[in-house]
Amino acid sequence: MLRTFRLFLIASFVAATFGVPATPAGAAGDTILFGSSVSLTGSLAKEGKLTQEGYDFWKDYINQHGGLKVGGKSYKVDIKYYDDESKPASAQQLAERLIDQDHVNFILGPYGSGTAFTVAQMVERKKMPMVEGNGAAEKIFSQGFKYTFGVLSPAARYLEGVLDMASKQKPRPVTVAISAASDAFSLEVQQGVVNYANGHGFKIVYSNKYPDTTTDVSSVVSAIKATNPDIILNAGHLQDAILINKGLKEQNVQAKIYGYSVGPDTPDFVNSLGKDANFVYGGAQWSEAVKYHGAPGFYATAMSYADAFDKVYHHRPDYHNAESTAACLAFQYAFAKAGTLDSEKVRDALQSLDIVTFYGIIKFDSRGLNVYKPMVVNQIQNGKLVTVWPAFTANGKPMYPTPPWAQR
Q: Is the pLDDT of residue 379 over 50?
A: yes
The average pLDDT across 45-72 equals 97
- What does the DSSP 8-state code read for residue 403? P
DSSP code for 252: T
Please answer whether residues 221 and 179 qualify as being in contact, where contact means their C-beta atoms are separated by less than 8 angstroms. Answer: no
According to the model, what pLDDT value does residue 390 have?
Answer: 96
Alpha-carbon span 396 to 379, nearest angstrom: 9
Write down the pLDDT at residue 28. Answer: 61
**Can you say how many angstroms the Cα of residue 344 is from the centroid of all Cα atoms in its chain?**
25
For residue 347, how many C-alpha atoms fall within 13 Å in the half-sphere facing its CB?
Answer: 20
Residue 210 pLDDT: 98
> Quick check: 322 pLDDT over 90?
yes
Which amino acid is present at 65?
H
Q: How far apart are CA 276 and CA 408, in angstroms?
A: 6
pLDDT at position 29 is 77
Summarize pLDDT for 249-263 with one digit per residue, the tens. Answer: 999 999 999 999 999
Q: Which of 22-36, 62-76, 326-340 has the lowest mean pLDDT?
A: 22-36
Choose among 399, 408, 330, 333: nearest CA to 369: 330
In which band, very low, low, confident or very high, does the pLDDT at 27 lie, cut at 50, 70 and 90?
A: low
The residues of the chain that CATH labels 3.40.50.2300 are 27-156+289-363, 158-282+376-407
Burial class (CB in 10 A: 0-12, 13-18, 19+), 362: buried
Determine which helix (DSSP H) or strand (DSSP E) holds 401, and give its type and residue range. none
- CATH 3.40.50.620 assigned to domain 27-156+289-363? The reply is no
Q: What is the pLDDT of residues 116-157, one digit of tens each?
A: 999 999 999 999 999 999 999 999 999 999 999 999 999 999
The rounded mean pLDDT for the chain is 93
pLDDT over threshold 90, residue 5: no
- Helix runs in 167-298, H state only: 184-199, 218-227, 238-250, 267-273
Which pTM does this prediction carry? 0.91
CA distances from 200 to 160, 276, 403 (A): 10, 30, 25
pLDDT at residue 351, rounded to an integer: 98
With contact defined as beta carbons under 8 Å apart, do 129 and 123 qualify? yes
What is the C-alpha R_g of the chain? 22
Q: Which CATH class is domain 158-282+376-407?
A: alpha beta
| Mean pLDDT of the region 349-375 | 98
Better pLDDT: 26 or 67 = 67
pLDDT recorded at residue 148: 98
Predicted local distance difference test score (pLDDT) of residue 17: 36
Task: Give the relative orientation of helices 45-64 and 302-313 as an angle to the nearest 10 degrees.
Answer: 100
Measured CA to CA, the distance from residue 229 to residue 316 in angstroms comes to: 33
* Contact in structure between 202 and 163 (CB atoms under 8 Å): yes
pLDDT at 113 over 70: yes
